[in-house]
Amino acid sequence: MTRSRPVAWVPSEEQLRSSNLWRFMEQENIADYRELLRRSEEDVGWFWEAFLRFADIRFTRPYHTVVDLSRGLPWPKWFVGGKINLVHNFLDKWALQAETAERLALLWEGEDGEERRYTFAELHRQANRFAHALNRLGVGRGDRVAIYMPMIPETVIALYGIYKAGAVAVPLFSGFGPEAVAVRLRDVEAKAVVTADGFYRGGQPVLLKHVLDRALDSAPAVQAVVVAERLGEKALYTPGRDWRWSEALRDAPDVFATVETDAEEVCMVSYSSGTTGSPKGIVHVHGGIAVKTAEVGMFVYDTRPDDRFFLVTDFGWMMGQLPLFSAHAVAAPYLMYEGSPMHPHPGRLYDLVEKHRVTVFGAPATALRLLKTYAEPFRARADLSSLRILGHTGEPIDEETWTWYASWTNGRAPIINGSGGTEVFAEIISSTCVEPHKATCLGVTPAVGPRVVDESGAPVPAGKPGYLVFTLPQPAQTRGFWKNPQRYLDTYFSLGTDMWWQGDIVMVDEDGYWFHLGRADDVIKVSGRRTGPGEIEDVVNRHPSVLESAAIGVPHPLKGEELILFIVAKPGAAPDPAALKRHVAAALGRPYEPGEVHLVHDLPKTRTHKIMRRLIKQKFLGETLGDTSSLMNPGALEMLPVRTV
């Protein structure tokens, strides 16, 4: 179990003293990391002002108040009176300085092997041209522009161009179907959409514009569509509404005065699916995103100008933009890859790391388990010596996969393991490169104030699972849900307005190490004990025949709930359900012996690779399904069994 795990990684003296956190502590005359945490939680204003100095975050008009908490934790205002457009610090600052203008800003590799590179100066010129194109199409300050795009350079150009124009970006996952796209377009009354005619995935073209056309039939507010020409064919164009990228940007000047937005001005509405009802439109502002993503990049991922940053992600959610901004906060290049990490062979990610000399790499546990199962021969041949930081976020990671991931660098590189969310555009708890790690552990970062509590908000003792909350205002926390402030309050402040209910099950062991055990919605109550699915799945995934698993609890007359397992087997394996039951009971105790074990071909996952246990449970019990629009593989849900007794 997590509490008995030994320390698995300790920073070397060189790793410690060269880190951004150590340099920050030296700047502020702070002796050690524990003192930094204490001081940052006691004086949030001091910490963020000190970080602004350290990171050279620039405002076009100075703020007069760091944070205004007159409306409490749910409604903070940050950098009050200041003007800052996030593009000023992530793009303009570097492009307009001679010493950084020609630094590499963006590397892109298509699934078909095509490559493109952009310096900060070139990326700046292209973003300026796109901002002009938006103005020509009638898009102005405050208008919502949806980005329904694959992982191609035009996605970054469009994003920066939208922010430059003072418009509001609305990211949409490239795997969404027509209805999921239409719901979001209608909700924000999007004036324009940026898309592509298509992209490549698994060796096949995906006709993205065709999907958008069906969505636009029920999204009447959209007046303009700009289409990046990735495939160069097969897209349909509606005259007066649809514009090829090359046409929209034709003759557009490459100089544009970035709009001076207020620090609290909305820059993005990012959708997160709810358990029931419509998706939640999460509102973000320029000042909060600019400052917090820079802090995540520098203090969580320890990003430096000579790094190359690559995460397996999608721009349809916050973890697409977060690594881009984290890299560009320090003028480091960001690597984008278009297609499937398993094409044309399972070692494609290793090829990318070796070829582009990636130093900061991140992937979800699902992708790591696939690599562990299918790509070991490629890893054995790959040169991974450039890697300095390994990242993981989103789902609990099992100990076996964590240990295998650490072996990529023979234990040299730390695994930065975090849990946060779109609602705060960052991690809430995360390991760092200045503190020792146990396998799968997380940790505390400055000025967050995380706590572990029970259902009533009372503290939970060490070694016991509880619910994650945070108690200090965050610069990038959402300013509410789009047009629905009450739903925002109901979602995150059920314990009162001095605790933000994040929704994860976590545990702090007797040594002070944090562990992620799953989502509160997925908690399983067996014989009176509340257990996160991650703790159970960690045990299940150790079985040599198991690739991945999902654990749910269903009603039981004696135990309260009975454990049900869904298993995806490793290639060629044929797990024995009875043996798996014995395996779990031997590790966790007889009360945890599963009532049923089901072998399935796949598990339903979101675009962020989170296993949707809620939907698995609803399908198994024959209940009405909640929101399924975020699934990247809906076929997996359809193939799950339904309980017959």
**Does 234 lie in the same domain as 142?**
yes
Return the pLDDT at 89: 96
Identify the domain containing residue 502 by its residue range: 12-81+264-298+421-430+442-517
Tell whether the model's pLDDT for residue 293 goes beyond 70: yes
CATH code, 532: 3.30.300.30
Measured CA to CA, the distance from residue 256 to residue 253 in angstroms comes to 7
Query: Domain boundary residue among 189, 214, 248?
Result: 248
CATH code, 185: 3.40.50.980
Question: For residue 519, what pLDDT band results from cuts at 50, 70 and 90?
Answer: confident
| Cβ neighbours, 10 Å, residue 64 | 10
* Within a domain: 601: yes
* Within a domain: 384: no
| Cβ neighbours, 10 Å, residue 389 | 23
Ranked by mean pLDDT, which of 125-139, 263-277, 516-530, 616-630 comes out on top? Answer: 125-139
Q: Is 79 helix (H, G, I), strand (E, B) or coil?
A: strand
* Within a domain: 3: no
Measured CA to CA, the distance from residue 463 to residue 461 in angstroms comes to 6
**Does 568 lie in the same domain as 505?**
no
Tell whether the model's pLDDT for residue 189 goes beyond 90: yes
- 425-471 pLDDT, tens digit each: 998 999 999 999 999 999 999 999 999 999 899 999 999 999 999 99
* Global pTM exceeds 0.85: yes
Helix H segments across 527-612? 533-540, 577-588
- 2-20 pLDDT, tens digit each: 557 899 999 999 999 999 9
- 337-372 pLDDT, tens digit each: 999 999 999 999 999 999 999 999 999 888 999 999
**226-247: b or e for each residue (b if 16 or more CB lie within 10 Å)?**
bbbebbeeebeeeeeebbbbee
Tell whether the model's pLDDT for residue 423 goes beyond 80: yes
**Does 215 lie in the same domain as 69?**
no
Q: Of 480, 358, 476, 461, which is closest to residue 428 (Cα–Cα)?
A: 476
Tell whether the model's pLDDT for residue 1 goes beyond 70: no
Q: What is the helix (H) or strand (E) element at residue 107, kind and residue range?
A: strand 104-109
**Does 551 lie in the same domain as 599?**
yes
**Does 148 lie in the same domain as 105?**
yes
**Does 454 lie in the same domain as 532?**
no
Contact 175, 605 (CB under 8 A): no
Question: For residue 209, what pLDDT band results from cuts at 50, 70 and 90?
Answer: very high
CATH code, 18: 2.30.38.10
| 629 vs 369, higher pLDDT | 369
**Does 629 lie in the same domain as 501?**
no
Domain count, the chain: 3
* Within a domain: 286: yes
The overall average pLDDT reported for the chain is: 93
Query: Domain boundary residue among 483, 517, 551?
Result: 517
**Does 603 lie in the same domain as 535?**
yes
Return the pLDDT at 628: 77
Measured CA to CA, the distance from residue 191 to residue 279 in angstroms comes to 19
Q: What is the average pLDDT across 116-145? A: 98
**Does 621 lie in the same domain as 506?**
no
Query: Domain boundary residue among 517, 546, 572?
Result: 517
Measured CA to CA, the distance from residue 284 to residue 261 in angstroms comes to 13
* Within a domain: 237: yes
* Within a domain: 220: yes
Question: For residue 563, what pLDDT band results from cuts at 50, 70 and 90?
Answer: very high
**Does 511 lie in the same domain as 452?**
yes
**Does 540 lie in the same domain as 630?**
yes
* Within a domain: 206: yes
Measured CA to CA, the distance from residue 213 to residue 238 in angstroms comes to 9
Strands 224-228 and 466-470: unpaired
Q: What's the residue count for the chain?
A: 645
- 586-612 pLDDT, tens digit each: 888 888 889 999 999 999 987 667 888
Tell whether the model's pLDDT for residue 535 goes beyond 90: no
**Does 62 lie in the same domain as 148?**
no
* Within a domain: 63: yes
Helix H segments across 231-364? 245-248, 286-295, 318-328, 348-356
